[in-house]
Amino acid sequence: MKISIVYSEKCLGYGSWHVEGPERVKKAQEVLKERSYAFLTPKPASEEDLLKVHEDEYVWNVKKGLVEDGDTPAYDNIFEYARFAAGGAIMAAKIKGFSLLRPPGHHAGSCGRALGSYTRGFCYFNNMAVAVRRLGKQTLILDIDGHHGNGTQEIFLGDEKVTYVSLHRHPNFPGTGAVSEGNCLNFPLWADCGDEAYLKTLDEALSKVDLNGVEVVAVSAGFDTHVGDLASLGLTEKGYGGIGKRIASLNRPTFFVLEGGYNGEHVGRDIDEILRNFKKHSQ
């Protein structure tokens, strides 16, 4: 059985002019459909779930559309799109699947912009954080997006239930993640470092995690590390296969939530590669 994909066409309804546009997810879904994945439709996250992560004033501002910044537009009905993506993450956590929805989430902190970033980097609600809080288990969040998840770090810094591990390109947006802090382990990498250096760093990162007590692995799955994408670390499909294999070696119930990745064709193939290798090497 393949890992199920959480998806709905509803997430395609906004922002066709933006780099974080519907095509990236639409094309990825088409690739995965061709490769016989099953798709499940989520429900939107409740306000109660959002408030486990975000301040009520911020949730209100998203609802009222008062969240425009240079990267992250206040689209009509963005509150509904954003809470739908958060609901997708909740469902992925429940079924141990992959949430293929937009907008992404890992730059969104409890009040929006996180750790001094200028913008929210295409994010509204922190989908992963909402899912992890709702689950309430001891969790390792592995963030493989090419950007540092400053929102996720801000939300979980000092939280005894969570270990956050991020590999990302540095220096780059949002400028954070140069060093580790407490339960947030950061591994900055140079532009286009390539599969080999990346996987070596991932091995080192995972060797630093105390897996005792970890009940769930939650993967913030961004694909903008792919060669030529927005935060390229020069990864190829083969590199994503290596990532899947290493996630399987952690031997925990695991779910995945889409973050970045702006070439839909690549995103679809990379997701397949990661999930196939994860499945193949899982016990």
Which residue from 203, 209, 165, 171 is spatially nearest to 187, judged by alpha carbons?
A: 165
Of the candidate residues 20, 145, 154, 195, the single one contacting Zn ion (CB under 5 A): 145
Is 107 tagged catalytic? yes
Smallest distance, Zn ion to C-beta of residue 260, A: 3
Does 177 participate in binding Zn ion (rule CB under 5 A)?
no
Tell me the C-alpha to C-alpha distance, in Å, between residue 79 and each of 61, 67, 69.
9, 10, 15
Least distance in angstroms from the C-beta of 158 to Zn ion: 24
Which are the contacts of 57, defined by CB distance < 8 A and separation ≥ 6?
Answer: 111
Q: Tell me: does residue 24 bind Zn ion (CB under 5 A).
A: no
CB-based contact 142:155 (threshold 8 Å):
no
Tell me how many residues contact Zn ion (CB under 5 A).
Answer: 6
Phi, psi of 210 (to 5 degrees): -85, 105
Binding of Zn ion by 222 (CB under 5 A)? yes
The answer to whether 268 contacts Zn ion (rule: CB under 5 A) is no
- Residue span binding Zn ion (CB under 5 A) among the ranges 6-14, 128-136, 147-155, 270-278: 147-155
- Set 18, 54, 106, 107: catalytic member: 107
Contact 104, 222 (CB under 8 A): yes
The answer to whether residue 270 forms part of the interface with Zn ion (CB under 5 A) is no
Contact flags string 226-255 toward Zn ion, x per CB under 5 A: ------------------------------
Residues 80-119 interacting with Zn ion (rule: CB under 5 A): none
Report the amino acid identity of residue 269.
R
Minimum CB distance to Zn ion smaller for 61 or for 72: 72
The tokens describing 26, both together, are 């639409």
The one among 102, 147, 226, 246 contacting Zn ion by CB under 5 A: 147
Residues forming a β-bridge with 219? 142, 256
Q: How far is the CB of 77 from Zn ion (least distance, A)?
A: 24
Among 224, 270, 272, 273, binds Zn ion (CB under 5 A): 224
If binding is defined by CB under 5 A, does position 54 make contact with Zn ion? no
The SS3 of residue 152 is: helix
Is beta strand 139-143 parallel, antiparallel or unpaired with respect to 184-189?
Answer: unpaired
Cα 174 from chain centroid (whole Å): 15
| 159 phi/psi in degrees, rounded to 5 | -80, 115
Question: Within a 13 Å sphere around the CA of 167, how many CA atoms are in the beta-carbon half?
Answer: 29
Taking CB atoms, the residue at the shortest distance from Zn ion is: 260
* Residue among 37 and 262 whose Cβ is closer to Zn ion: 262
- Render 183-221 in DSSP notation, one character per residue: TEEEEEE-TT-HHHHHHHHHHHHHHTS--TT--EEEEEE
Residue 260 as a binder of Zn ion (CB under 5 A): the answer is yes
Place of tokens 């939650």: 218
Cα distances from 229 to residues 57, 95, 238, in angstroms, run: 34, 30, 16
CB of 164 to Zn ion, least distance (A): 15
Smallest separation, CB 73 to Zn ion (Å)? 17
Which CB, 146 or 234, lies closer to Zn ion?
146
Query: Contact residues for Zn ion (CB under 5 A)?
Result: 145-147, 222, 224, 260
* Catalytic residue positions, numbered: 107
